[in-house]
Structure 1
Amino acid sequence: MNARQLYVGCAGWTLGREYGSEFETVGSHLERYSRRLDAVEINSSFYRSHRPATYKRWASSVGSDFRFSVKMPKSITHECRLENCFDLLDSFLSECGELGGHLGCLLVQLPPSLVYDTRRTSPFFERLRARFSGHVVIEPRHPTWIEADRLLIEHKIARAAVDPPRMDVDSSPGGWPGLRYWRLHGSPKIYYSDYAQGWLEEKAAQIVSSAIEGSPTWCIFDNTAQGAALGNALLMQRLLNR
């Protein structure tokens, strides 16, 4: 059992050949991935919807302690910009709800141009919370979101720590303290760069401190363009003495 509620994984479950020796050879990529790491972030949901049966099949492919984080569709976050999107939101929640107890978190990544405006965000968060009581993390990318922590805490929504940081405060988790979530995109070249072991050792110390405080804590590697994420996640798992 994952007693510390500390989850390490990647954005997607692609298994690069260079890490083949780390994984069993039998089963689908997800089945093999889930026997070695205990979390994954589903990013494909940002681009297209998935059938409820697909989410149900994914849930049946993993062990009891494995958790999925599901990225909210861009139709909600980028096209509707959190407004006039309640039908889309309801459909998304109905689909990914088929993950059942394996649904660990919803990820709301916002476009860089979306400023913080309570007239827009409050109705959206209220609607979301009326329909979903589980963990939610937001990754805003406009500096005005520095002002949002009070609203995020009110609605029990965490703010992700990201690397490379895009605002003054997002190198550390913020918002509601009941969840801690790191999204590591690769640096200096975002989505590509491999993190050095020394950097990961420092990050692991921060993550352990957060987990000791008792909040569920996630570390997701999104530097997937050339496969660095998987190696970084496996090393982070070892550094955390999993």
Structure 2
Amino acid sequence: MSSFDIGDVYIGTSGWSYPDWQQHFYTGIARKNWLKFYAEHFSAVEINGTFYRLQSPDTFKKWFDETPAAFRFALKANRYLTHNKKLLDPKPSVLIEKNHAKVLGDKLAVVLWQLPGQLKKDPARLERFIDALQQWPEVRHSIEFRHLSWFDDQTADCLAQAEIAVCLSDAKTWPMWDRISSNLVYIRLHGHTQTYVSSYSNSELSYWAERIARWTNQGKKVHIYFDNTAECAAPFNALDLQAMLKNL
């Protein structure tokens, strides 16, 4: 396999502030320094808490200041638009997200929009949502579909026209749409055998490493975040994947 630039790959975890990580990953590190410590090991993080509540611009500014210039954030959009409103009337909610996060500047690389598992395919609703995302052209966008009805060429073509990435979402409890729709590849690894819990084996990580290397050789940017956070597998899986990629 030809060599590739690992600088085109952003590897991290979904969130970083988990109390039970203290005795495993953050040993001896004061909690106020966790993000700084995390950023010494990884090039990016997916902000997960924003899905449950909007963060203040002051909080985003603090995170910006605590991370290196080359560090990148992926922002998981708040569930109000995706889960409460089911993507209806999207423009005001998209602008609220944008205005809150704008202090992250060029460190904000991607916004992830996770759709609820019960939301079935609705092409018109998706097109209106994609139109609303045009208000936020400064970042890339990825959509995590969890209902099988979306997994078709019509949806993929709609995303491709807007350069929006399908989120490749590996979990035990919902299906993964293994489809590339843009020059951004966005991957969430939630735990293949037990969602949010199970660690990925060396063979499973090797499978993803080989695919990532192939995508970067094709000129794609790759973001991959481990969401198997419940028992602290995520940071160690991320470290192992980084090591594999550096050795390819």
- 2:10 is matched with 7
* Structure 1 residue identity aligned to 2:82: T
**For 2:212 and 2:225, how far apart are their aligned partners in 1?**
12
Q: Could you say which residue in structure 2 is the equivalent of 1:210? A: 215
Q: Deviations over 1:104-150 (max 9, x none)?
A: 10001100111121221111111111333421111101112113001
Is 1:17 the equivalent of 2:23? yes
Q: For structure 2, which runs of at least 5 residues remain unmatched after alignment? A: none
Code of the residue aligned with 1:233 in structure 2: it is A
Deviation digits for residues 70-126 of structure 1, max 9, x if unmatched? 001100100001102432221111111211010010001100111121221111111
Q: Distance in 1 between matches of 2:91 and 2:224?
A: 29
Distance 1:115 1:202, change over 3 A: same
Mapped contact 1:173–1:181 kept (Cα < 8 A): no
- Partners of 1:107 and 1:138 within 8 A in 2: yes
Written as runs of structure 1 = structure 2, the 5 A alignment for 1:91-240 is: 91-147=96-152, 148-164=155-171, 166-167=174-175, 170=177, 172-176=178-182, 178-240=183-245
Alignment of 1:72 onto 2:77: yes
Q: Please, what TM-score do these two structures have when normalized by structure 2?
A: 0.89
Aligned length: 237
Match of 2:196, as an amino acid? Y
Separation (CA, whole Å) in 1 of partners of 2:69 and 2:134: 25
Letter in 2 for 1:201: S
Measure how far apart 1:209 and its partner are: 0.9
Q: 1:145 to 1:32 in 2, by over 3 A?
A: same
Q: Secondary structure at the match of 1:4?
A: helix
Which of 42, 46, 65 is the matching residue for 1:37? Answer: 42
Cα 1:123–1:55 shift into 2, 3 Å: same
Q: SS state of the match for residue 28, structure 1? A: helix
% identity of equivalent residues: 30
TM-score with structure 1 length normalisation?
Answer: 0.91
Instruction: Provide the C-alpha distance between the structure 1 equivalents of 2:6 and 2:243, rounded to a whole number of angstroms.
Output: 16
Aligned mates of 1:106, 1:16 — CA distance in 2: 28
